[in-house]
Structure 1
Amino acid sequence: MEALFAFSIGLLTASGVFLTLRGRTFPVAVGITLLSYAVNLFLFSSGRLTINGAAVLGASEVYTDPVPQALVLTAIVIGFAMTAFLLILAMRSRADLGNDHVDGRLPIEPEEKKK
């Protein structure tokens, strides 16, 4: 179970880094979102994964740490707000510059380099 969890965090991180390094704004936004999901899973796993554990002391013999759960919940809300803000900035950049490249310039085509 732990190996699958670690593999999924690694896969999300690798996919997020790959998409963040792309040249257009939408893959960058998706990459940042995937990175935030990976960080959320990592924070959630820091509270030790337990089955049938209550977050309240005295409710059961086995309990889970509620702090990582609260951190992940807060990170989800902040991540959603930042993603919405990033998409609004990307839409504004597209409207002002006429393209959706990260640096605002169109890439040079190989045929244009030869001329």
Structure 2
Amino acid sequence: MLIALTIAVLAAGGVFLIMQRGMVRIVVGMGLISHAANLIILAAGIGAWRGEPFPSRTPLDQAADPLPQAFVLTAIVITMATTAFMLALAALGRSDDTRSAEDPTEQSPLETRANSASRMSRDSHRVQRVAQRLKGAR
């Protein structure tokens, strides 16, 4: 009964967070739903009346099935990698629909400055500084 309530709370919290607008909330919601699915797999595969899954200690017809635990361990690793990837996308992305008006002149972190670069004039202080450094290096 307690595990079913835990699964229900995790799934409901995950759905609630996914319905929000922020990317980080969506990522956390996906993690909660993943944990709920892992608990469902464990609850379906583990019976309290089963013995240890070792043939030397328990007869094979009474042993617990270790396959659901292996599935959950694999799912945890996949969830961690997917969560890290989604958090990276949330950090780098611009259009998550949570900001109001964006400045069109603002440069995206995914763009390079070479796309919008123009040639500098010879009397620019930066060009003069580079020329002085090149003369001093010779």
Q: TM-score range by the shorter chain?
A: 0.7 to 0.9
Aligned residues: 99
| C-alpha distance in structure 2 between counterparts of 1:36 and 1:26, whole Å | 15
In the TM superposition, residue 59 of structure 1 has moved relative to its aligned partner by 2.0
What's the counterpart of residue 22 of structure 1? 20
> Aligned ranges for residues 68-107 of structure 1 at < 5 Å?
68-93=68-93, 97=94, 102-103=96-97, 106=100
| C-alpha distance in structure 1 between counterparts of 2:50 and 2:65, whole Å | 13
Q: Does the CA contact (< 8 Å) of 2:41 and 2:68 recur in 1? A: yes
**Aligned-residue identity in percent:** 39
RMSD: 2.1
Q: Does the CA contact (< 8 Å) of 2:52 and 2:63 recur in 1? A: yes
What's the counterpart of residue 67 of structure 2? 67
| C-alpha distance in structure 1 between counterparts of 2:83 and 2:16, whole Å | 18
| C-alpha distance in structure 1 between counterparts of 2:53 and 2:73, whole Å | 14
TM-score normalised by structure 2 residue count: 0.64
Higher relative contact order (CA 8 A, sep 6+): 1
| C-alpha distance in structure 2 between counterparts of 1:56 and 1:106, whole Å | 59
Instruction: Please identify which structure carries the higher helix content.
Output: 1
Q: What 5-or-longer segments of structure 1 have no aligned partner?
A: 108-115
Instruction: Report Cα offsets for 1:43-85 as digits up to 9, x if no partner.
Output: 1111133268312234225421111001000000000000000
What's the counterpart of residue 30 of structure 2? 32
Q: What 5-or-longer segments of structure 2 have no aligned partner?
A: 102-138
TM-score normalised by structure 1 residue count: 0.76
Q: Which runs of 4+ in 1 moved over 6 A?
A: none
Q: Does the CA contact (< 8 Å) of 1:50 and 1:64 recur in 2? A: no
Decide which structure has the larger Cα Rg and report it: 2
